[in-house]
Amino acid sequence: MIRQNLNDLAAFAVIARTRSFTAAAAELGVSPSALSHAMRGLEARLDLRLLARTTRSVAPTEAGLALLSRLAPALAQIDAGLEALADWRDAPAGTVRVTTFHWIASTVLARKLPGFLGRHPGITVEVNVDDGLRDIVALGFDAGIRLGESVERDMIAVRIGPPLRTLVVATPGHWDAHGRPSHPRDLLAHPCITYRNLGSGTMMPWEFEKDGRELRLQVRGPLVCNSSDLALAAVRAGCGVGWTMAEDVADDLASGRLEQVLDEWSQPYPGAFLYHPSRRQVPPPLRALIAYLRQ
């Protein structure tokens, strides 16, 4: 597209929005006569009438409306791209309010956030740790960080971590005493360390998948808590079976302190995602945080 067409198309969009050559000319900083001349030239090049003019009003024709429906989003993307260049001119500054749950805070954010703060001294990050699923818009958060399957579909989600696995583990002594399960349902006969979501008040089911088959179990045991650290301490002490993130027990498995079972039922699932309400008007501090966490 030649530059003249792009300029004239942008001017046409303003005229169609304001329904006035005079108002559009004032907004664009040109004279009404120059704007009218540009529109006649655009219509001549396209061989279509885009604007219906009378002595008192101007409005887009049917063809003009069809063009505008495609043109407006494209112009909005161009504007957004130009606005984003501000991040290259000036260091972003301000506050970003983020909510997430304990495991993400103690792993993903604990590893990455110090580096981000060092690179962006003008940004303050406020992190709210809450294991409940909260409405980030209603509570005034700029973004949330959750596992992929927990993100609402109307949010813009950006992956900030690799896929994850949740493993079934216990001490070798526990398996020797109670037997090693060959199927997840065998866990119903074992003492299990379980988790209660304080936000919903419900017990978290243990989820399994194999060959496309999904299974959810409500296990029982001697400890119910909402702390992954406490749950893992109980598992390490031989109090029962745990269902825990693979990353948290990597050293335990390597040393033999814990032993995994049902590996074929422990399939990877989407990892951590940062999500926010809209692509438009993303504040520069949040945009900088997203870019850093994606690395």
Dist. CA 236–CA 251, nearest whole Å? 12
Of 1.10.3720.10, 3.40.190.10, 2.115.10.20, 3.40.50.720, which CATH number belongs to 88-163+271-294?
A: 3.40.190.10
Domain spans, the chain: 3-84, 88-163+271-294, 166-265
**Is 3-84's fold the same as 166-265's?**
no
CATH of domain 3-84: 1.10.10.10
CATH fold for the domain made of 166-265:
D-Maltodextrin-Binding Protein; domain 2 (3.40.190)
Q: Residues 56-90: pLDDT tens digits?
A: 778 999 999 999 888 888 887 777 666 666 555 56
- Find out whether 193 and 170 touch, Cβ atoms under 8 Å: no
Q: Which pair of tokens denotes residue 154?
A: 């109307």
pLDDT of residue 197: 75
Encoding tokens for residue 212?
């496309």
Q: How much is the average pLDDT of 285-289?
A: 91
Intra-chain end-to-end CA distance of the chain, in Å: 35
Q: Give the torsion through C-alpha atoms of 23, 26, 28, 31, to 10 deg.
A: 100
Confidence of residue 230 (pLDDT cuts 50, 70, 90): very high
